Amino acid sequence: MENKYSDDVIGRARVQDTPELEAYYKELEGLGAGALWTVANDIEPWEPRTSSVPMLWKYENLRELVLKSSDLVTPEQAGRRVVYLVNDKRKDVSAAVGWLYTGIQVTRPGESTSAHRHRASALRFIMEGEGGYTVVDGNKVTFEVNDFVITPNSAWHEHGVAENGKTCVWQDGLDIPLVNALEANDYAVYDGKQPLQAPTNYLPLSYGGAGIIPADKVWDKPYSPLFKYSWKQVYPALLEATKVNEGSTFDGIIMQYSNPLTGGHVMQTMGASMQLLPAGFKGKAHKHTGSFVYQCAKGSGYSIINGKRFDWKERDIFCVPSWAWHEHHNASNTEDACLFSFNDLPVIEGLGLYQERVYSDNNGNQILE
Amino acid sequence: MENKYSDDVIGRARVQDTPELEAYYKELEGLGAGALWTVANDIEPWEPRTSSVPMLWKYENLRELVLKSSDLVTPEQAGRRVVYLVNDKRKDVSAAVGWLYTGIQVTRPGESTSAHRHRASALRFIMEGEGGYTVVDGNKVTFEVNDFVITPNSAWHEHGVAENGKTCVWQDGLDIPLVNALEANDYAVYDGKQPLQAPTNYLPLSYGGAGIIPADKVWDKPYSPLFKYSWKQVYPALLEATKVNEGSTFDGIIMQYSNPLTGGHVMQTMGASMQLLPAGFKGKAHKHTGSFVYQCAKGSGYSIINGKRFDWKERDIFCVPSWAWHEHHNASNTEDACLFSFNDLPVIEGLGLYQERVYSDNNGNQILE
Amino acid sequence: MENKYSDDVIGRARVQDTPELEAYYKELEGLGAGALWTVANDIEPWEPRTSSVPMLWKYENLRELVLKSSDLVTPEQAGRRVVYLVNDKRKDVSAAVGWLYTGIQVTRPGESTSAHRHRASALRFIMEGEGGYTVVDGNKVTFEVNDFVITPNSAWHEHGVAENGKTCVWQDGLDIPLVNALEANDYAVYDGKQPLQAPTNYLPLSYGGAGIIPADKVWDKPYSPLFKYSWKQVYPALLEATKVNEGSTFDGIIMQYSNPLTGGHVMQTMGASMQLLPAGFKGKAHKHTGSFVYQCAKGSGYSIINGKRFDWKERDIFCVPSWAWHEHHNASNTEDACLFSFNDLPVIEGLGLYQERVYSDNNGNQILE
Amino acid sequence: MENKYSDDVIGRARVQDTPELEAYYKELEGLGAGALWTVANDIEPWEPRTSSVPMLWKYENLRELVLKSSDLVTPEQAGRRVVYLVNDKRKDVSAAVGWLYTGIQVTRPGESTSAHRHRASALRFIMEGEGGYTVVDGNKVTFEVNDFVITPNSAWHEHGVAENGKTCVWQDGLDIPLVNALEANDYAVYDGKQPLQAPTNYLPLSYGGAGIIPADKVWDKPYSPLFKYSWKQVYPALLEATKVNEGSTFDGIIMQYSNPLTGGHVMQTMGASMQLLPAGFKGKAHKHTGSFVYQCAKGSGYSIINGKRFDWKERDIFCVPSWAWHEHHNASNTEDACLFSFNDLPVIEGLGLYQERVYSDNNGNQILE
């Protein structure tokens, strides 16, 4: 029923320029207007079209420079001491992929930042160090390597590392490019340190296993009351799942960090997952709308994105643009590999824009370019 | 603004009988009708009114009789070999309190029941034994003492104990009286054993900690995809909560078993909680709509219900009727006590019928009758 | 897969009494307990079971008695001057069918009642008169014949008829039996008249056509912000629908009164509909859970309920119990007939208890007994 | 608590360039990275920042050119014969304001377009003509001046004018720029004409007044089952509202076109409203996030946007960018004026990005620049 991919069909613009039309276009331009058929085919693509390219950032290349930033600037000068990763085709909006920002932040023992907040949402994934903490709306949360922490839209937040800790490095993920594009971002600086509202590592609503919620507490915010998802709970959960869950052809054993009150994404604009590729796992290829930033949390492997291979190991970061074919492979036949990722799926799904296509040729795997 | 509790006010029926009226009433009766004012004050009570009485069932009295049932009847004869507990004022509907049924079921090693299903929902709380299991819609779940298991509305289910297990005793909770009263119950027998849909202890949607959900699974049922809530996860969660959560004046540290996809009750008609009364805990009194059945899961203590004291220890079962004043006390100053309970709150809350009142006299504690 | 309707199958209780068992039962009884297998088959019916019987109340028989009540008692004495209709099998709970109460209320010109409220919800369907009004939470609404008005759970309400009006008669529908059964009802009398919050016939959220909502208003109540549904809008809507909608085999053109903010029922515990049976309409039979009270708003016809024919014309009231076979017929080949009805579907659906069965024999129509 | 609008505070980036830093930046750039503090203040604005400017398009200037397009190109050549209106600062994305596209389409009697669909959503507001129609997913809807019609995400749609009609002109609104930016748009051409699924002017779910919904129909789409909102219903509703509703200080009597099943916006990505400014109405100023395109449907007046006055009369189109101060005034003291508008509020609200600020100086009205 569909006639695909050629503009030479009824329903597409196929007007030839004439002197008369050119005069007409000029006249329209003078009135802040134009003829739709001159741009229609361009603004109505046959398939989703991304402006981002797949990229991989090797941590071994970046780590020294990230640490060096702590010699070059203080947190007070920098606001946040962060090296951000930018897509070759999205430099204009400082995005790593699509409308997602990511960066690598370093904090030394005894350092702490002042508190601020913004309409954009933020998340962290911990890469190195000991004694790090964040304070979100008065709730202090300590974290360890591979923990996942959220800082939702408009929550006051600040970070630091204990005096007796070790230099902490973590990945920041923010939707700043999106919220700027939607012309809705703002920013405020907190005057001083936030007073703590609760004991350290208090989470507003859950203190234990799945489905266990304080019966006498109320939570009316549009984001998860769990501010931290600990690796020491997530990794065992993935291992347990391998015993009973055959897993996804594309993603192995994949767990979404979710809001236990809704089963949905942790925040209104960004979601995140952790996936385990069992030893020897060879994923199939598919593509879908939505932009993704990955970090390897454990092991090593490679992803093939739009026909090109990207090899990654622990702490490497890479991105998969919207509608790019992609597949993930564990390089080891003996050890599992884990990929953390965050995405803009709450936006894409929430606005009715999600679609997926499975790669059907070549037994489901791409042919390398 | 309210004129309370006397029927001698404008707005209440205050009609005196006369011969003329009596003739009138007779005439109405012949037409399947009546005069509202003859029944209005009775059917419009000033405050919620229960027909149940508080009751306590001591396990030490019942245990021997429960076990004896396994000498008297076989599961095949009995359908289910259960001693049910019945409220002195609810014998007509076989309810323990309000519209809730409860019973104690015994299964010997090697025994198993056939599968059936009903519109009424069921839950179990494990009291004794080893090697017990249930199969819910093809998902086999093994359980241990103090585990909580659900069998939702219309799910096929069957139970058993492994050959090498030990005699299992558990408490059943069902809303059979409610679903019968709502004229909606049904029943079907499965022809044979259910084929297993998944490995043992597979739960349809979660395999680990709070907020960790398989990203590639879909669940569209109106009840929790967690069929089992293990004591070995729940009790540590309660202990962890005592570190950061001051707890409820009425209930100590109370955790609701919840559906991780909604933050709501585990099933559409019954909810359940586990609460920990810290050593020395002396609860305050309140009353609210909704009926509750409790079982002591750990320790000992007493509850004061409508001015009467009920002492309980591990495995004892008691009930709190709707709108009855109640308060809970831990009898020990050194050990915590835990109370499991189930209730009809999804009905009461869902229909807009919940209300609560705090006991304000005598510093919040009832005076014993 | 199901073995239906005989208790002589595995999965049903089939225990024979013995002296030993009788002694055992006695012992259990002394402890507030019983053996489930002695009651199991009774409390676990194969299909939904109602205790109500179909009934028809002819308005021509009742009208005179209803009007006579205004000679016999004053509104002040009676609270509300109402003749209630009671099911032969539900006299203990003053219900017309299932857990639904209905009555016929009469108010003379210049009379008004005092304000009260209760946890039970109420609705009205206007039968006769001019100049009637109700005040719901400070919103005064005037009504005409065949208008439908709601008085939700815990809303203050009072009624009256203007001095220059004509005696008004309306049908009341309440869930008092249900809310009493759920042990949650309460009652309060307002001291004096409610002050009006808004101009007469102001409705909190909609003032016109479908899908037109004041953009600057907020409504956070669990019931419809439309307190009145006018016949002069509803009947044309039904007529318009007949042009494009083939209608239901069972119900003709049936429109649910709905909450425009949710598309759901008008209140949390009762729903209502208006249906038009086109001239010559012969409905098919089905049965489902949920209890229904009907009033004929226009025309005449008959319903066959569980094999028995009930003839109705304008203002007659009848009921269909849960799980009763029923079918509706328009007696006229030239005029349409309209049936108003209210029901407990929000309860039955909300608790997951709805089921339906289509009558398949005899070309879908029952054979009269 | 907030220190506003100066970057010279703790929490903002305040790093001075040095040769060492410049070398560092170069090194980062080579790795696809950068130092956050070099862009932080720019990408984290203190307040929402728009790239659009307020604009007004006078219909008297455009009308002739719009009609002329029907001499210059055929619908077959053009796909759609539309003059689109483009913001001076959003030409790169063909948007009228923010991420919203708008255009003016002309169709002559007897013409019709072929059917297509796209992930972007569309809406129409009818400006001139008779006999126009649209077909949305097989539902043919005829329309008249000032009617509002939706074509949701991925619905097949085509338009035309009856042979005996008059040339029709309507405004199109689409979120093409947004869906392109989110890298999710697609396009498909229908091979031939859609077969009609239902009688003309059948709407899938409502046929009449507010809160009247076919009880036997199901609708599971994420957009309104009302495809058309008729001026002949909307304008009387506005007039009726003026009797009981004091209206908004900013917007007069404003009605949102809503989904009767949710009370929410008509589509997932665009909302729309009609507002009536009573005779003599002088609105107050406020600003909020979200982009708006207006068309004057009746009367005349002016809006002050960011201190600049824009005079409009029937059929003129103008826009208000995100976070721009704006206020609306009716120019007449005897006749009401009506403004249609559409917006991206479903996106802004759904992602948690809505905020508003009231203009407090000068008694709430802006001072003209």
Distance of CA C276 to the CA centre of its chain: 17
**CA distance between the termini of chain D:** 32
For chain A, state the CA radius of gyration.
Answer: 23
Quickly list H helices, D134-256: 176-181, 231-244
The length of chain C is: 369
- Indicate the residue of D215, D238, D259 with minimum beta-carbon distance to C256: D215
SS3 annotation, chain B: CECCCCCCCCCCCCCCCCHHHHHHHHHHHCCCEEEHHHCHHHHCCCCCCCCCCCEEECHHHHHHHHHHHHHHCCHHHHCCCEEEECCCCCHHHCCCECCEEEEEEEECCCCECCCEEECCCEEEEEEEEEEEEEEECCEEEEECCCCEEEECCCCCEEEEEEEEEEEEEEEEEECHHHHHHCCCCCEEEECCCCCCCCCCCCCCCCCCECCEEECCCCCCCCCCCCCEECHHHHHHHHHHHHHHCCCECCCEEEEEEECCCCCCECCCCCEEEEEEECCCCECCCEEECCCEEEEEEECEEEEEECCEEEEEECCCEEEECCCCCEEEEECCCCCCEEEEEEECHHHHHHCCCCCEEECCCHHHCCCCC
Predicted confidence at residue B42, as pLDDT, reads: 93
The verdict on C68 touching B (C-beta cutoff 8 Å) is yes
Mean pLDDT of B211-217: 88
- Indicate the residue of D14, D78, D186 with minimum beta-carbon distance to A48: D186
Which positions 263-322 of B are in contact with A (Cβ < 8 Å)? Answer: 263, 266, 273, 275
**Which residues on chain B are in Cβ contact (under 8 Å) with C119?**
48, 353, 355
What's the rounded Cα separation, in Å, for the pair B18 and B27? Answer: 14
The verdict on A259 touching B (C-beta cutoff 8 Å) is yes
Element of type H or E holding D103 = strand D101-107
The verdict on B57 touching C (C-beta cutoff 8 Å) is yes
Q: How many CB pairs under 8 A join A and D?
A: 314
Given a cut of 60, is residue A250 above it in pLDDT? Answer: yes
Q: How many CB atoms lie within 10 A of CB C248?
A: 17
- Which residues touch C332 (CB under 8 Å, ≥6 apart)? C279, C280, C299, C300, C301
The verdict on B9 touching C (C-beta cutoff 8 Å) is yes
The verdict on B213 touching A (C-beta cutoff 8 Å) is yes
- Indicate the residue of A45, A84, A347 with minimum beta-carbon distance to D351: A347
The verdict on A92 touching D (C-beta cutoff 8 Å) is no
What's the rounded Cα separation, in Å, for the pair B187 and C2? Answer: 10
Instruction: Please report which confidence band the pLDDT of residue C4 belongs to, taking 50, 70 and 90 as the band edges.
Output: low
Q: How many CA atoms lie within 13 A of A316 on its CB side?
A: 20
Minimal-distance CA residue of chain A relative to D192: A1
Element of type H or E holding A134 = strand A122-136
What's the rounded Cα separation, in Å, for the pair D213 and A215? Answer: 37
Name which of B276, A143, B100, D65 is nearest C43 in CA terms.
B100
Structure-token pair, residue D138:
């097989």
The length of chain A is: 369
Write the burial class of residue C6 (CB in 10 Å: 0-12 exposed, 13-18 middle, 19+ buried).
Answer: exposed
- Which residues touch B64 (CB under 8 Å, ≥6 apart)? none
**DSSP 8-state code for residue D17:** P
The verdict on D251 touching C (C-beta cutoff 8 Å) is yes
- Quick check: B214 and A245 CB within 8 A? yes
**Which residues on chain A are in Cβ contact (under 8 Å) with B262?**
261-263
pLDDT in tens, A234-244: 999 999 999 88
Structure-token pair, residue C70:
């205004």
Name which of D248, D322, D281 is nearest D47 in CA terms.
D322
Chains that touch B (3 or more CB pairs under 8 A): A, C
Residue-wise burial string across C47-67, b where 16 or more C-beta atoms lie within 10 A, e elsewhere: bbebbbbbbbbbbeebbebbb
Q: Nearest 5°: CA angle at C84, between C80 and C90? A: 135
Show pLDDT as tens, one digit a residue, over chain D (369 residues).
Answer: 344 567 888 888 889 889 999 999 999 999 999 999 999 999 999 999 999 999 999 999 999 999 999 899 988 888 889 999 999 999 999 999 999 999 999 999 999 998 999 999 999 999 999 999 999 999 999 999 999 999 999 999 999 999 999 999 999 999 999 999 999 999 999 987 899 988 899 888 888 788 889 888 889 999 999 999 999 999 999 999 999 888 999 999 999 999 999 999 999 999 999 999 999 999 999 999 999 999 999 999 999 999 999 999 999 999 999 999 999 999 999 999 999 999 999 999 999 999 999 999 999 999 998
Distance of CA B321 to the CA centre of its chain: 11
Structure-token pair, residue A157:
């937040």
State chain B's mean pLDDT as an integer. 94
Mean pLDDT of C161-185: 98
Secondary structure class of D266 (helix, strand, coil): coil
Predicted confidence at residue B251, as pLDDT, reads: 98
What's the rounded Cα separation, in Å, for the pair B317 and B325? Answer: 18
- D–B contact: 3+ Cβ pairs < 8 A: no
What's the rounded Cα separation, in Å, for the pair C313 and C295? Answer: 9
- Indicate the residue of A51, A61, A322 with minimum beta-carbon distance to D184: A322
- Quick check: C37 and B94 CB within 8 A? no
Contact between A88 and D32 under an 8 Å Cβ cutoff? The reply is yes
What's the rounded Cα separation, in Å, for the pair D224 and D205? Answer: 9
State chain C's mean pLDDT as an integer. 94
The length of chain D is: 369
- Which residues touch A127 (CB under 8 Å, ≥6 apart)? A59, A104, A145, A169, A170, A171, A295, A315
**Which residues on chain B are in Cβ contact (under 8 Å) with C88?**
32
- Indicate the residue of A209, A247, A256 with minimum beta-carbon distance to B209: A209
Q: How many CB pairs under 8 A join B and C?
A: 311
- C–A contact: 3+ Cβ pairs < 8 A: no
- Quick check: D39 and A94 CB within 8 A? yes
- Which residues touch B234 (CB under 8 Å, ≥6 apart)? A208, A209, A212, B146, B148, B255, B274
Element of type H or E holding C302 = strand C300-305
Looking at the complex, report in whole angstroms how far the Cα of residue B180 sits from the nearest Cα belonging to chain C. 7
The verdict on B157 touching C (C-beta cutoff 8 Å) is no
- Indicate the residue of B226, B237, B262 with minimum beta-carbon distance to A207: B237
What's the rounded Cα separation, in Å, for the pair A74 and A72? Answer: 7
Helix axes D19-30, A59-72, angle to 10 degrees: 160
For D55-364, CATH gives 2.60.120.10
- Which residues touch A347 (CB under 8 Å, ≥6 apart)? A178, A269, A353, D182, D351
What's the rounded Cα separation, in Å, for the pair B342 and B252? Answer: 16
- Quick check: A2 and D80 CB within 8 A? no
pLDDT in tens, C218-237: 899 999 999 999 999 999 99
- Quick check: D245 and C273 CB within 8 A? no
Structure-token pair, residue C6:
């005989």
Looking at the complex, report in whole angstroms how far the Cα of residue C346 sits from the nearest Cα belonging to chain B. 8
The verdict on C11 touching D (C-beta cutoff 8 Å) is no
- Give whole-number Cα distances, C172 to A171, A256, C134, C161, C175, in Å: 64, 51, 12, 16, 10
Q: What is the largest CA-CA distance in chain B?
A: 77
The verdict on A93 touching B (C-beta cutoff 8 Å) is no
- Which residues touch C77 (CB under 8 Å, ≥6 apart)? B13, B14, B15, B37
Looking at the complex, report in whole angstroms how far the Cα of residue D106 sits from the nearest Cα belonging to chain C. 28
The verdict on D244 touching C (C-beta cutoff 8 Å) is yes
pLDDT in tens, C19-61: 999 999 999 999 999 999 999 999 999 999 999 999 999 999 9
- Give whole-number Cα distances, D186 to A345, A355, C179, D114, in Å: 18, 10, 53, 17
Structure-token pair, residue B353:
């019928």
The verdict on D197 touching C (C-beta cutoff 8 Å) is no
Domain range annotation of chain D: 1-46, 55-364
Lowest mean pLDDT among B48-52, B197-201, B301-305, C351-355: B197-201
The verdict on A341 touching D (C-beta cutoff 8 Å) is no
- Quick check: D189 and A9 CB within 8 A? yes
The verdict on D330 touching C (C-beta cutoff 8 Å) is no
When scoring B9, B101, B187, B193 by the number of chain C Cβ atoms within 10 A, the one with the most, hence best to mutate, is B187
The verdict on A238 touching B (C-beta cutoff 8 Å) is yes
Secondary structure class of C255 (helix, strand, coil): strand
Chains that touch C (3 or more CB pairs under 8 A): B, D
What's the rounded Cα separation, in Å, for the pair A213 and B258? Answer: 7
Structure-token pair, residue D346:
């479903």
Predicted confidence at residue B321, as pLDDT, reads: 98
- Quick check: A34 and D94 CB within 8 A? yes
Which positions 24-43 of C are in contact with B (Cβ < 8 Å)? Answer: 24, 27-28, 31-37, 39-40, 43
Given a cut of 70, is residue B5 above it in pLDDT? Answer: no
Predicted confidence at residue B1, as pLDDT, reads: 38
Q: Nearest 5°: CA angle at D18, between D17 and D19? A: 130
For B55-362, CATH gives 2.60.120.10
- Give whole-number Cα distances, D76 to A15, A332, D80, D114, in Å: 9, 57, 8, 8
The verdict on B6 touching C (C-beta cutoff 8 Å) is no
- Quick check: C208 and D234 CB within 8 A? yes
**Which residues on chain D are in Cβ contact (under 8 Å) with C234?**
208-209, 212
Cross-strand partners of B159: B134
Lowest mean pLDDT among A189-193, A225-229, B169-173, C364-368: A189-193
The verdict on A23 touching D (C-beta cutoff 8 Å) is no
- Which residues touch C175 (CB under 8 Å, ≥6 apart)? C99, C100, C101, C120, C121, C269, C270, C344
pLDDT in tens, C138-172: 999 999 999 999 999 999 999 999 999 999 999 99
State chain A's mean pLDDT as an integer. 94
pLDDT in tens, C286-331: 999 999 999 999 999 999 999 999 999 999 999 999 999 999 999 9
Element of type H or E holding D160 = strand D157-174
- Indicate the residue of B212, B245, B247 with minimum beta-carbon distance to A255: B212
What's the rounded Cα separation, in Å, for the pair B149 and B229? Answer: 6
Distance of CA C186 to the CA centre of its chain: 20
Q: What are phi and psi of C232, to 5 degrees?
A: -70, -10
**DSSP 8-state code for residue C190:** B
**DSSP 8-state code for residue A302:** E
